[in-house]
Amino acid sequence: MQVEYIGAFNIVLGVLGRFWPVWIGLVLVMGASFAYKKRLGLYGQLFDSGVGIVGVGICLFWLFTAIFASTVSPFDPLAQIPIMKDALPGGIEPKSGLAYLFGGDKLARDVFSRMVYGSQIVLIIAPAATGFALMVGITLGLPAGYYGGKIDTVLSFLANLVLAFPVILLFYLLVTPGIMDTPIPYAMAGLFFMFPIIFFSVLFWTRYKNRPDRLYILLGLTLIIGGWVYAGLVFDVDPFKIIHIDPNQLNIFVAVVFASSPGVFRIVRGLVMDIKTRDYVAAAQTRGESPWYIMLWEILPNARGPLIVDACLRIGYTTILLGTLGYFGLGLAPESPDWGTAIKDASRLLRSFIHPALPPTIALMSFVLGLNLLADSLREQSMKD
């Protein structure tokens, strides 16, 4: 049986049509942001420059694609339809009458659907891992920069130790199937996932320790929600069965957090060393505030500009790291639709077929580009103040 094809124009039209929920979401959010940009602070200022608009647009595009992945993609990303093996872009799958818009790969899966579902994996892991890395880096970087001395020496030495590891070697050691039999990833997860709980507990404690009514509510909430997520992620014993993470994904997650938190640590430490010489810190010290109050409520809010910019860049970098992991076949399942794995599979067959390689590469590139543009424009806007 011969596969029938639709023309190039119809492919473009089809792709644009498939993304309809994304366009609606984009128009709504961008329109609202434009209308209220005066009241939206730093985010609103992004809409003053072309670079900022493009950056926000690309990031939102992939965010909505990830959210509406099941509506956007016409096929199951893992389903194999034998007749569509290596089909060129625009081949029509006979049974459903829908086209393989970007063609089929060597296992007869729809390249377009895989690209769309790949965005889900990236947009869940990359921001979450960056968030945890920020928590770890901030919680350790604040005291290192503020106290200096022995704490700084020890923590900086440890951070430099991790930074001296070439990333690829670190991943080859930490993300192997064998290591899942040992308690190491779980121990590391247990350690890293403690940091957000510690961070928020100290945050609320230092602020509200003289106002027990507020303190107990906030502290209780932190411990309950934190403990619930912690139990679900580290021990996989969530009583409500909502929070669950694959051992494989936990391993990747931990490795990525481990690789990027020393970078955050260094930035936070540098910022704190700069900010602690300011007058308002001296004023707080004279008032008799506790060191942790000064760090979390005086210094940290004033370091937020560079930290937000760094977080944007770091999400992009984490995306690249995830792609590297996929490219080397580490951690993620071999049939997983993430972009790195797709690039690996396709790049081996470039001599015969190029169409399965292009969608994931362009997807990854555009997402990271969007984040970088966003970060660049954020930096420019925060410099203006």
**Residue numbers of the site for another protein (CB under 8 A)?**
51, 157, 160-161, 163-169, 172-174, 176-179, 181-182, 184, 316, 320, 323-324, 327-328, 340, 343-344, 346-347, 350-351, 354, 357-358, 361, 364-365, 368-369, 371-373, 376
- Taking the alpha carbons of 302, 294, 198, 185 in that order, is the dihedral positive or negative? positive
For another protein, the closer of residues 196 and 340 by Cβ is 340
- Residue 91 Cβ, how far from another protein at the closest point, in Å? 20
User: To the nearest whole angstrom, how small is the minimum distance from the Cβ of residue 360 to another protein?
Assistant: 9
Vertex 185 angle, CA 343 and 234, to 5°: 105
User: CB of residue 274 vs another protein: minimum separation in angstroms?
Assistant: 17
d(CA 385, CA 374): 17
Q: How far is the CB of 7 from another protein (least distance, A)?
A: 21
The radius of gyration computed from the CA coordinates of the chain, to the nearest angstrom, equals: 24
Smallest distance, another protein to C-beta of residue 268, A: 19
Contact 284, 293 (CB under 8 A): yes
Q: Regarding beta strands 99-100 and 91-92, do their DSSP bridges make them parallel or antiparallel, or are they unpaired?
A: antiparallel
Nearer to another protein, 206 or 347 (CB): 347
Write out the DSSP string of 292-342: HHIIIIIIHHHTHHHHHHHHHHHHHHHHHHHHHHHHTT-SS-TT---HHHH
Minimum CB distance to another protein smaller for 165 or for 205 = 165
Write down the least CB distance from residue 264 to another protein, Å: 17
Of 289 and 376, which CB lies nearer to another protein in the complex structure?
376
Tell me the closest approach of the beta carbon of residue 346 to another protein, in angstroms.
7
* Residue among 138 and 346 whose Cβ is closer to another protein: 346
Cβ proximity to another protein: between 222 and 260 the closer is: 260
Contact 5, 91 (CB under 8 A): yes
Structure tokens at 256: 């990525």
Which of 113, 318 has the CB closer to another protein? 318
Q: How far is 40 from 175, CA to CA, in rounded Å?
A: 41
Nearest in space to 310 (alpha carbons), one of 375, 253, 373: 375
